Structure 1
């Protein structure tokens, strides 16, 4: 008995639907493969370019340290010594500041001090005896800035077994103004060198990261040196981007993910996929080079040159914070003219394992990482998960702060996050 046309209809519809789905999946797979191969070709081309020489530019190297002896002795001090030699002693100054470390970071930096002296390289290494305990126990008076009241009582780890408490409404020093003050101290030799008639073209900030001279050469040559600032990418775990606190894409958004291709902005993401310098609003990322001009010259009606700062205490009191390493780009007049860039061909790590994972000699990232990362990023944007509710919370607090006083202005609004960071005797914590 032959089935009726009506009985066949659902079966035919299912067959057609199945073929459509299969065809769509095949086309999607083919499209993804072609896109991944195109990206890999572009990345391979950029990765194959040799690092350019330093040329005649003069470089001021700046670095701030606390309790990082292991990476200093194993990687950083030898790399810094080699870098200074490669730049040339007539073209480099090294400024290092350490304060109150809990290990023998001072010993590692004394070794560096001795080595730079032996090599005849201009430098200043400051080993400050002031500890975090000194900072948190000093008396606050009404004229002090950089303090905030605890919004609630909170416990913090003292060691592996014991805890200590900070009470609600107690005054505690903020982490970011403290770091900004220390960074400005690192920059002090720029003025003393200028008084001797010596100026520098670039200021290179180095975190306690694993790096090579070639990394620095590539970074300084970003866009042939035409930038307000240029940053590396930094990784604390293999393939996991670290510095989301200071990084904002071309539209001012924090990174969407900590895996490639990181950004929500199409402008930033597209440049990254081509291996080209990535336009961003701000970055730091373990290694950053600044055009030194705004640091030497007045950049505002106040007559001040570019320096590090935190957001006002009155804004921080609303449970809002911003990195000094982001705010400096918001304050930099060259950011609008020459812009801020991430060079994706410069990747540093906070230990040897992380560095090797992203600098293994082949093209980075892998085909698999490109395909997965591309679709993960795409789906997050499509599903409207790119803008977290925290953004709205921060914006509401900023508006409330502005309403209190018309003089309340924060040019680095894109740097703000929903956090309160306080200094502790053994580090820092969230409040």
Structure 2
């Protein structure tokens, strides 16, 4: 029996290769769902293999049944594979929908229950209500404070002086009280249309004012620097400082003491918010604003902060990526935490934000008051005193914004509270459309915080400032460029001992210079990169 079994299971060369290998002509395939049985003629299965039989096979019924069955089994396998893929895809789509729904719910909840800077403090709401209910002259200025408003414009075509900007300024004068306001606008090199628009605006101004449309500045009167190629150029900051100071010239002959100075850029703003910046920022127990300067927050689009050049946090760090919460998570993070806490007086070392309110004492020459004001500027070796003015950093390869330098000069020597604040409740924009969207975008801006921190790390922000840590009026080692016309680059870098200054946190080792030919279109300035350090 054993030998017979071995014989049956042995491979029979006389059988065609296409026959079932089990040797059972009545075998039913386990894959055969309809239990069809392939019956093979046992006699013919044992016929000797012949080429003619192989050629005749396609003409047999059994051949085509096997072909049909193989195709059927293959189709089932493919269908089962497609079913598995479809089920995986359905699960993935369900996960995406659930995740999207959860994120949308979080966005709605934060925008509804935890919005950023939308729930105004009570005294802000009171000021707004007084203005809205009566729209009377001086309705925003309950203490009848004297306000000097200054603006510098570059206005080709006169679109600012004849548009929304001018309307907002006139409305601001109205709610502050025309008898309490002096308006000074300085415009230069803007053309005939700008002159005509400014003249029409002057006829509508109800307060005391000085509106000047000037010819292009004489560059020969501005300080020059010598570049390594030997050319004499004008620092852009020297130009900007001169223009800003010209808007302050009427203060030199003023016979009244101003309480506040409000500097306005070419921005769109809400007049009520400008009044809140003046009178509601960091109020004391008597309801009076207490600051040396207080800045708005300016936007170039509904999400992007604009004025990063002049802004520094309480530790002197420059800005992070320019969306909320704007300031980097470095150092003590005091400024960042105060932004996230919805503070209306976020402590910083410097700011501008398109519109800034100052304590006017720093800009007038009333000696009895000036002698009592202690500032970082008059604590310096240069002994800066009131009246303070915008200025330029004289060192060639060290550039600081004139807006940061003025903040460095007037701030307190108290590092924990310099008296300089950012007020995120007051927001301005560089076009009316962006301003109209700010009320909505700020409701959800706290959601940006984790993305902001990650983006700062990826972008390696804030920028490195080699002089930020210097203690004012202490000796530090530093690389300084020294002019030497005997050298190929008209100078060399030298490592020297120098006195750290109170404004070192403002700077960076770059240079902005005015273009030699000023054109109405495009930028009228350019960057110049410094020579590599220690080239000589």
TM over 0.5: yes
> Residue 117 of structure 2 contacts residue 443 of structure 2 at CA under 8 Å; is this kept in 1?
no
Per-residue deviation, residues 257-290 of structure 1 (Å, max 9, x unmatched): 1111110152112221222121111011110000
The aligned counterpart of 1:222 is 281
Match of 1:113 in 2: 202
Equivalent residues in 2 for 1:133-152 (5 A)? 134-135=218-219, 138=220, 146-151=223-228
What residue is the counterpart of 2:432 in the other structure? 352
Structure 1: how far apart are the matches of 2:110 and 2:192? 46
Give yes or no for the alignment of 1:175 onto 2:253. Answer: no
Question: CA separation of 1:100/1:341 partners in 2, compared to 1, >3 Å: closer, same or farther?
Answer: same
Matched, 1:370 2:426: no
Residue matched to 1:430: 527
Distance 1:293 1:404, change over 3 A: farther
How far apart are the structure 2 equivalents of 1:338 and 1:38? 35
CA contact (8 A) 1:401 1:408 kept: no
Mapping of 1:27-426 within 5 angstroms?
Answer: 36=110, 40-41=114-115, 43-46=117-120, 49-50=124-125, 52=127, 53-55=140-142, 56-67=144-155, 69-102=158-191, 104-116=193-205, 119=206, 121-131=207-217, 134-135=218-219, 138=220, 146-151=223-228, 168-193=229-254, 196=255, 198-220=256-278, 221-224=280-283, 225-265=289-329, 266-277=333-344, 278-296=346-364, 297=370, 300=378, 301=383, 303-312=385-394, 315=395, 317-318=396-397, 320-334=398-412, 336=414, 339-359=419-439, 362=440, 364-367=441-444, 369-371=445-447, 373-380=448-455, 385-388=460-463, 390-392=464-466, 399-401=478-480, 410-424=501-515, 425-426=518-519
For 1:33 and 1:212, the matched residues in 2 are separated by: 27
CA RMSD in angstroms, aligned pairs only: 3.3
Query: Structure 1: which 5+ residue stretches go unaligned?
Result: 1-24, 139-143, 152-167
Count of matched residue pairs: 365
Instruction: Indicate the structure with greater helix content.
Output: 1
Are the structure 2 counterparts of residues 249 and 34 from structure 1 closer, same or farther at C-alpha, using a change threshold of 3 Å?
Answer: farther
Q: Assess if the C-alpha contact under 8 Å between 1:71 and 1:351 holds in 2.
A: no
Partner Cα separation in structure 1 for residue 458 and residue 189 of structure 2? 47
Q: Which moved more, 1:276-285 or 1:181-190?
A: 181-190
Determine if contact 1:61/1:92 at 8 Å carries over to the other structure. Answer: yes
Distance in structure 2 (CA, Å) of the matches to 1:405 and 1:125: 47
What SS does structure 2 have at the residue aligned with 1:430? strand
Q: TM-score, normalised by structure 2?
A: 0.61
Query: In the superposition, relative to structure 1, how do residues 74 and 51 fare at CA in structure 2: closer, same or farther (>3 Å)?
Result: farther
Structure 2 contact 118–442 (Cα < 8 Å) conserved: no
Aligned mates of 1:214, 1:260 — CA distance in 2? 23
Gaps of 5+ in 2: 1-98, 128-139, 284-288, 365-369, 471-475, 482-493, 529-536
Structure 1: distance between partners of 2:352 and 2:385:
25
Question: Residue 190 of structure 1: SS of its match in structure 2?
Answer: helix
The whole-number CA distance in structure 1 between the counterparts of 2:222 and 2:189 is: 21
Aligned to 1:223, the other structure's residue is in SS state coil
Q: Deviations over 1:94-122 (max 9, x none)?
A: 01111112573222222221211xx3x10
Report the secondary structure of 2:299's partner residue. Answer: strand
Deviation at 1:385, TM superposition (A): 2.7
Structure 1 CA distance for aligned equivalents of residues 412 and 466 of structure 2: 29
Q: CA deviation at 1:308?
A: 0.8
